[in-house]
Each structure stands twice: as C-alpha cells, then as structure tokens.
A and B are shown apart, each in its own frame.
Chain A
C-alpha cells in the first residue's frame, strides 16, 4: 500500500463528509415532503410566495412580516368565525417559475390552500391558465398590472388597490382638477419594462379625454441610466408635471435632482411602489417637488384609522413600511371574503370567494382607505394624492380620496 499525504487524507474525508451532507439533505427533503406538517382539520390554509431573496428581498421580507402579522392578530382574536388561519409561505427569489412551484407545492399538499398571495406580475400571468381551468382559488398579490383587471381573463385574481392605469388616471384627474383653466403639460417618464409600459396607452387616452397635453414621453432602462440626455429633453418640453412609472428606487430621484438643478419648473409625480416614506426621507429638500398617488393612509395618520392603530399595536413599531401595509391589507381582503363565504354557508371555493370579493361594496377598511370602497374589475380604484414634505420627511395628503368611475 502506498503512503498518502495528510492533505490527501483530509480531501478524502472531506469528500466523504460532503457526500454525507448531500445524502442527509436529500433524506431530510424526502422526510419533510412525505410527512408534511400537521394541521388541524378546521384550519384555513393560506399560501404565499414571497421574494425573501433576490432583487426585491427588502420589500419581500417586510411584506411577509405584514401578512404574518395580520394572520397572527386574526388568530389571536378568534380567527375567522372561530377557525384559525395557517400560512404556508416560501421564498420565491422573485423568480416566477419558482413562485409557480411554490403554488403547486401548496396545492398538491394535504393542506390545500384556499387563497394564495403571489409576489409578481410574472407569477400572476404564469399561474393564470391553470388557475382558471384547474385550481380555481382566490389569488391576490403585489401586482397592480392593468391586464389583471380583465375579469374574463383573470376570474380568480384581484389586486389590493387601483391598477397602474387607474393610478395614472387618478394623477391625471388631480392635474386636470387643479389646472386653473390652463391646458396642463405633462411628460410621461417610464421604464422599458412591462411594469413601466403598463399604463402608458391608457394614460394617453385619459389625458386626451381630460384635455391634458402629453408634451414628452421618455422611455429608459429601469436602472443604470445616464439621465443627462433625458433631462435635456424635459427642459425642452417644459412640462408642468412629470409622471414617473416603472421604477422603484432608482433613476427617478436622479432625474428629479438634475432637472431641478437645470431649471425645469415642474412637479414630479410617482405611483404606488415609488411612494415609500423611507425613499422620500432620503430625498431631502427634493421631496418638496414630489407627489404621487397612494391608495392607503400612511402610518402617521393613525388617529384616522383603526386598522393602522391595530397594525401599530401588533408590531409595536414606530414605522410601518408600504410593503407591510400592502400585505396586511391583502390579508384583510382574504379574511373578509372567507368570512362572507362562511357566513353564507358556502364552501371555500374560488368561485364563492370571488363572488364574496365582488360583494365588497361600500366596505369599511377601518379607515386604511378613507372612504368606503367598492371593488370593480378585480381592483379597488381609489387613491389619494400625497405631496412630499422635506421638513417632516413625510407625505402630506393634498387631495381628497379620488374614486375613479
């Protein structure tokens, strides 16, 4: 027998250890898949795919906390008609295929979910064919894609607020109402993604209807953009308002900064995902030139909203991020539709849950939305205009609640 060196021995042991670990992991997987977690018969199972890793991990982690906090609160206060909710949430990494795998896993297990929270427009579209024909459960999520308002194509999906087209519609209505007899000049600044282009055709049509002139349309990448040429275009177009859409934290703050420095005298506007207070705080003095549409009250309006007071009491946090509030509100919609279905003595099928969702007319959201809301076309077409305030680092309401007809 030949002598082997210490390093070779270590390598051999390590190889064995690595193989052992891989085997143990596989056995662990097999065990977990085969046994499943126990759950009580009367539990109501909710499924969720959350982007806990990947490009939207920060939002995903906060969103998961929101949904979990809502479920914890509901269970602690008696559940839904005495039945407890069980959440099965997994990380999708913001990959639609992976989110679909989570959906299928939840639906294939013994603990079949009655509702599911999806984490992207990509997922909403991937799941649609089978959701409509086979699984038929109620699905909500992060997407405000205008396509989802087509009830015929998406009979089991909803969004917890106005679609992107409606959000731009609310902004344009505000601009029109505050025009003071002038023809407002608006520039549309959007990313070249599905998200960015979503409301643009609708925005053109609404602007024409309201007598608003679209003086410039600028399409850029969603990130990593040299904004200087775009700022020159804005300066030439001389808009009264610049509406951003299809960005989250990048591009638009820099466009705003450079535009204001180069003398563009416009008000800058944003939509849901660019209305996070933490972003506004970072903007400093620029915040005074920024406004946008948001469908809920912010956490500093707790006096006006019992729902926000509950959130604050449950979390004991001084600050409630947008992502947290959005998933909490989605949870409220799920719980309300389930309650209405159970009250009607019907089984928790997708058809019954969707009918219960459509019955949400003049529904009181505990002041989270300042007016009683009525769902329409899988959405809640209500919003309010908020304006940045650099002194307080917050967003102040500058309009009443705008309900689109």
Chain B
C-alpha cells in the first residue's frame, strides 16, 4: 500500500513521473511500444499508426477545448491544412519530411490563429458555430483550389525518406509516428507546468478572473488556437505520409466530431484523456467488427447496424457512469491497487 511520496530535492518534486510505481509503468509502456512492431502484423501496425496520429490530433483539441475551454468543430480542417501543406511542399519544393512536417504544423497554426480571432468576442456554442464555419470554408478551399490541392481528386505524395531509408511500410511509419507522438505528448505535458499552460486553465475556469490576475486574454486564447492547430497540422502531415494520398474527404466535419468525441470520452483536460479517448474511438469499432465476425459471415450485414448502436451506447454509457472520461476510470482503478487491501 502506498502511504506517502517522500521527496528530498526540488527536482524530484518537479519530475513528471514522481513515484517508482509510475516509472515502472512508464518502463512497461515503453517496452510494449518498442516490442509491438516486432510482434504485430501490418494490420496491427496500421491500426497502431492511426491511433498514434489520432492521439496527436486529440491532444491538440484537448489543449484548446479541454484545457482552455474553447470549443472547436474545425479540427479536421486544420489537419487538412497540415496535410495539404506537407503534400505541396514535398511535391513542389522537394523538402524532406522532417522540414515538411513542422512547416505543415506551422501553417495550420497560422490558419488556427485567424480562425481563433472571433474567440475574443464569443465563446461556448457561438464559438462552436464560428469554428464550424471554418471547417466548411477550409473544406471548400480543399475542393476548389485545384492547382494546390488537386481539387476533389486530391493529391498524392512520395513516401517520407531519411538517410536513404524510405518510410513506406507500416513498420517504418510506426517509428516515425511514435517519435512525433512522444515528443508531442511530452511537450503538452510540460506545457501545463508552465505559466502559459496554467494561463490556459485559468481562462477556461473563469476568463474574467484570469484577466484580473494579469493574463492577456488575446494572447492566451490565440496561443491555444495556434498550439491546438499546430498539433492538428502535425497529425494531418503524418496522415499524408501514412496514406501517401491527401483528399478532401479525409478531413470532413465528421472527423472533427470524432476528435471532439475522443477527448470527451477520454477525459477533457488531461493528457491521458486524449490518449485513452483516441485509442477507444479508433479501436472499439474494430473490436466490435471482430465480434460481429464471430457470429458468422451471414450475420455481418445484420450485425453491422447493431454494432453502430453498441458503439453509441458504449460512448453514452461511459459518459453516464463517468463524465470525466476514461482517464478518471483509470485513476480510480489505480487508486484501488494503491490503497489495497483497503477500500475507498
């Protein structure tokens, strides 16, 4: 039973993983992530890659919605901006992926700042509608700006390459995605230990009080939009290299809803929530699909509709039983074994 967490130095107190137990868990997670591509097949790695990309995108929307309290329904459009930027730079300028990816994030961040300007005047549902408009405007641009985006047909790009190694299989892309994902998560985790991150939280909790405390609302809100969109652009850029095709139908409104649902289900305002939400939203339909296969080939058509219902019910169930999401469930589970044999 864990009865205390004694520290002798400030560094120990400031560490992200402060207990031996959490460091052991981290070690196990790292070992699993490293071992996974050697035991999984290409389908498993494909799903892992998608999860990694979705984690980055979900963390982005978590920064904006979960931590800063600014709702966005245009996240997929920012992903699209990142993806098209990467494709264009790769095809027309011939830049390597390690330049294209951050530039994709930066262009998405710039667009995010523009979209975020109305957040100074409006919030809540009104901001949701404003970002929704951004989603459709950018969707229109993706479809119509044919010389750059390829229009409705979309555009394709060559595989990412580093040091003569072409990253064109799930195995190689897995490592690229994992590295970017870990860096993105570490940055996000540390962000909320800084003044900027704490300002986000203060704005979310009460923006007027935050302003009275000396927080510049203009700068803080636009920074949140920029960072969130940067993450989306990064995720979109990775998606471009992952599929080697970028088309408008990959970045539609339903993808924005998917990302928002991921952070709601996972737990808003926690890094773990974004991770768990992205895993849940990506994997559960697959798991349910596998379960329908167990009932035999003939039942697939009939059970597919039921699967959608079950997926919806699972989301509703989690929200009813734990509105703070999967992250809170995980926290409760942790508490059970931390104080075992006693009960809460």
Contact = CB atoms under 8 A, between A and B. Distances in A.
Contacts of A61: 301
A29 B287 contact: yes
Contacts of B249: 96, 122, 194
B250 A125 contact: no
B343 to A, nearest CB: 9
Interface in B122-156: 143, 151-154, 156
A302 interface: no
Nearest to B150: A194
Interface in A88-124: 88-91, 93, 96-98, 100-101, 104-105, 107-109, 122
Contacts of B243: 97, 100, 126, 129
A19 interface: yes
B77 interface: no
Interface in B254-291: 285-291
Interface in A1-55: 11, 14-15, 18-19, 22, 25-26, 28-29, 32-33, 37, 50, 52-53
Given A32-B291, A129-B244, A52 B42 contact: no
A18 B321 contact: yes
A22 B330 CA distance: 13
Interface string B147-172: 00001111010010000000011100
Interface in A124-147: 125-126, 128-130, 133-134, 147
Given A97-B50, A108-B41, A29 B291 contact: yes
B10 interface: no
Contacts of A68: 297-298
Contacts of B300: 52, 64, 89-91
Nearest to A32: B290
B62 interface: no
A87 interface: yes
B321 A14 contact: yes
A289 interface: no
Contact of A52 (B143, B248, B304, B321): B304
Contacts of B317: 18
B1 interface: no
A134 B171 CA distance: 13
B42 A104 contact: yes
A89 B302 CA distance: 13
A90 B301 contact: no
Interface in B197-252: 243-245, 247-250
A315 interface: no
B286 A101 contact: yes
A147 B170 CA distance: 26
A176 interface: no
Size bracket, chain A contacts: 35 or more
A147 B308 contact: no
A100 B42 CA distance: 12
B287 A25 contact: yes
B245 A125 contact: yes
B307 A19 contact: no
B70 to A, nearest CB: 27
Given A28-B290, A29-B287, A193-B152, A108 B42 contact: yes
Contact of B43 (A15, A97, A101, A133): A101
A344 B268 CA distance: 61
B304 A53 contact: yes
A260 B43 CA distance: 53
A25 B245 contact: no
Contacts of A105: 43
Contacts of B154: 125, 194
Contacts of A18: 317-318, 321
Contacts of B286: 29, 101
A105 B143 CA distance: 31
Contacts of A97: 50, 243, 250
Given A52-B305, A68-B297, A194 B285 contact: no
A197 interface: yes
B297 A101 contact: no
Contacts of A133: 168
Given A26-B287, A104-B42, A57 B305 contact: yes
Contact of B322 (A15, A128, A192): A15
A65 interface: yes
Given A11-B321, A91-B300, A29 B290 contact: yes
Nearest to B252: A95
* Residue from A57, A89, A130 having most chain B Cβ neighbours under 10 A: A130
Contacts of A93: 285, 308
Interface string A293-304: 000000000000
B247 A122 contact: yes
A229 to B, nearest CB: 19
A256 to B, nearest CB: 25
Contact of B152 (A28, A128, A194): A194
B253 interface: no
A259 B185 CA distance: 57
B38 to A, nearest CB: 15
Among A57, A91, A130, A134, the most chain B Cβ lie within 10 Å of the Cβ of: A91
Contact of A125 (B168, B247, B285): B247
Interface in A141-179: 147
Given A57-B305, A91-B292, A91-B304, 15 more contacts: A15-B329, A19-B329, A50-B301, A53-B305, A68-B298, A88-B297, A90-B289, A93-B285, A97-B243, A97-B250, A108-B43, A125-B154, A126-B243, A134-B169, A192-B152
29 contacts: A11-B321, A15-B329, A18-B317, A18-B318, A28-B294, A29-B286, A29-B291, A33-B44, A37-B293, A53-B305, A53-B307, A65-B301, A90-B289, A93-B308, A96-B250, A97-B250, A108-B42, A109-B41, A109-B43, A125-B247, A128-B156, A129-B244, A147-B153, A192-B152, A194-B154, A194-B247, A194-B248, A195-B152, A197-B151
Interface of A: 11, 14-15, 18-19, 22, 25-26, 28-29, 32-33, 37, 50, 52-53, 57, 61, 64-65, 68, 87-91, 93, 96-98, 100-101, 104-105, 107-109, 122, 125-126, 128-130, 133-134, 147, 192-195, 197
The 5 closest A-B pairs by CB, nearest first: A194-B152, A52-B304, A91-B304, A108-B43, A108-B41
